[in-house]
Amino acid sequence: MSDTHAQTVAFVRDTMTEQQEPPLSQSGAYKWMRENLLSTPLNVILTLVSVWLIYSVLSHVMPWAVFGIWDASSLSECRTIRDELYGADANVACWAVISERWKQLLFGFYPPEHYWRPVLAFVLFLVAISPVLFSSLPRKLLAFSVVAPFILFWLIWGGTIWGPICVALGFVIGWAIIRYASPYIGALGSVILAIVVPLLYWFVLAGPLDDLLASILPIGLEQVQSKQMGGFMLAMIIGISGIALSLPLGIVLALGRQSDLFLINKCSVIFIEVIRGVPLIVWLFTASLLLNYFLPPGTNFDLMLRVIIMVTLFSSAYIAEVVRGGLAALPKGQYEAADALGLDYWKSMRLVILPQALKISIPGIVNTFIGLFKDTTLVVFIGLLDPIGLSNAIRASTEWNGIYWELFVFIGLCFFIFCFSMGRYSLFLEKKLRREHR
């Protein structure tokens, strides 16, 4: 047996052959191309079509964009420079309009010496929003998020610092009443009181108090009218305040839509459906043409505020649907557990349901914000100078009359960068939430 065995093993290799490179067809760019671009006849055709598409677009756009003229003070000067450099037939961009007017496109007519204010406000906004967006950051930052709206408002509009402080004081009063008075007058009483007292304070006391404090200690920044704001700054202000202000209303509407109370439920449904059924542009025209009809004779506030009010109502309907999705996604056990603990409706919502539901809803809220931010371009139709409105105004100046694509390309790129990064963030968050739920 052992002999046979020894014979069958005719040869045992004791030295290894040199390791060889994989054949050319199985490595590097060739393999990659064969597998990813040319694997089937259909794929070959698709690849060819794509290459042709990319080439035909780039061959038109690239020379135009790359050879563009950056330094000129008017379109006619641009054309003279072009004639000198490339001849009269050349089709090149005149980026000079961007280099001369980019500040206007970003800030509108905001006084240039105060540009640091919106920039600082934007940075502070990012700081304030970060604890909401990234849960790994310390929770103490949330305190800043609460104060931030007042600081941002003061930075952008200016005026005395006492104005925002006096308004904020009203919220502090309301909070204090709920915190300290509820043991004495009961939960319901304190809630009612916490609504009535601050309202009374705002209507009666806040104005004189502000005047008084301002006359004693005039600390403040130079006031800037909202008419002077425009461009991307305007789009940001409308988008951010629209979403921020619509959150509370949206949550209430979402709860209302889930409520068993017939009347409240129906009112919420009607409100949400009416708002969502009509295009934003119609609401904006309503804000600019009709809002004055609905308010007491003689009242009149500026267009930007009217637009913010309308946008807030508009986005609250969308936020309500997002939050409703979050509420529906929660397992029923959470509701039952909260009931089993003996929590009443508001307590169970505040302590158990909403914190979880809102966390799930954040990607949806971010997406709503992206949509709203893009939709702010519609304000051009009611005469606000958003980026597109400003591009029209710039084209109306004698220097730049006749320029077209350059402004749109710039505006489009800015929007793309902003919305794309927001979209990526919301994707990241969705993935993270899915991991956590597993």
Report CA dihedral (177, 178, 182, 188) to the nearest 10 degrees: 110
Tell me which of 126, 185, 196, 295 binds another protein, using CB under 8 A. Answer: 295
- Does residue 397 touch another protein according to CB under 8 A? yes
CA distance 213 to 155: 18
Contact status: 280 vs another protein (CB under 8 A) = yes
Amino acid at 196: V
Residue 243 contacts residue 372 (beta carbons within 8 Å): yes
Question: Which is nearer to another protein, 131 or 149 (by Cβ)?
Answer: 149
Q: Which of 130, 182, 356, 377 binds another protein (CB under 8 A)?
A: 377
Q: Are 421 and 366 in contact (CB under 8 A)?
A: no
Please report how close the Cβ of residue 48 comes to another protein at its closest, in angstroms: 10
Q: Which residue number, 137 or 200, has a Cβ lying nearer to another protein?
A: 200
115 touching another protein, by CB under 8 A: no
Does 248 interact with another protein (rule: CB under 8 A)?
Answer: no
Q: Under DSSP, is residue 108 helix (H, G, I), strand (E, B) or coil?
A: strand
Q: What is the rounded CA–CA span in Å between residue 35 and residue 32?
A: 5
Strand partners, 229: 108
In whole angstroms, the minimum distance from the beta carbon of 5 to another protein comes to 44
Largest CA distance in the chain: 116
Q: Is 394 in the site for another protein (CB under 8 A)?
A: yes
Letters for 200-239 (x = contact with another protein by CB under 8 A, - = none) are: --xxx-xx--x------------x-xxxx-----------
| Per-residue contact flags (x/-) with another protein for residues 142 to 171, judged by CB under 8 A | -----------x---x-x---xx-xx--x-
Contact (CB, 8 A) for 382 and 287: yes
Q: Which stretch binds another protein (CB under 8 A): 5-13, 14-22, 175-183, 257-265?
A: 257-265
Of 322-351, which residues contact another protein (CB under 8 A)?
none
Distance of closest approach, residue 272 Cβ to another protein, in angstroms = 12
d(CA 257, CA 244): 20
| CA torsion, ordered 266, 267, 268, 271, to nearest 10 deg | 120
> Rule CB under 8 A: which of 19-58 touch another protein?
32, 35-37, 39, 43, 46-47, 50-51, 53-54
The least CB distance from residue 75 to another protein, in Å, is 7
Task: Select the residue interacting with another protein from 175, 180, 346, 404 (CB under 8 A).
Answer: 404
Q: Write the CB contacts of 224 (distance below 8 Å, at least 6 apart in sequence).
A: 110, 111, 114, 117, 156, 157, 158
Residues 105 and 387 sit within 8 Å (Cβ to Cβ): yes
Distances in whole angstroms, Cα of residue 96 to Cα of each of 81, 325, 398: 11, 48, 15
Q: Report in angstroms how near the CB of residue 359 gets to another protein at its nearest.
A: 21
- Please tell me the distance from the alpha carbon of residue 216 to that of residue 131, in angstroms, as a whole number: 37
Q: 69, 72, 108, 121: which one contacts another protein (CB under 8 A)?
A: 108
Q: How far is the CB of 190 from another protein (least distance, A)?
A: 14
Nearest CB to another protein, comparing residues 141 and 173: 173
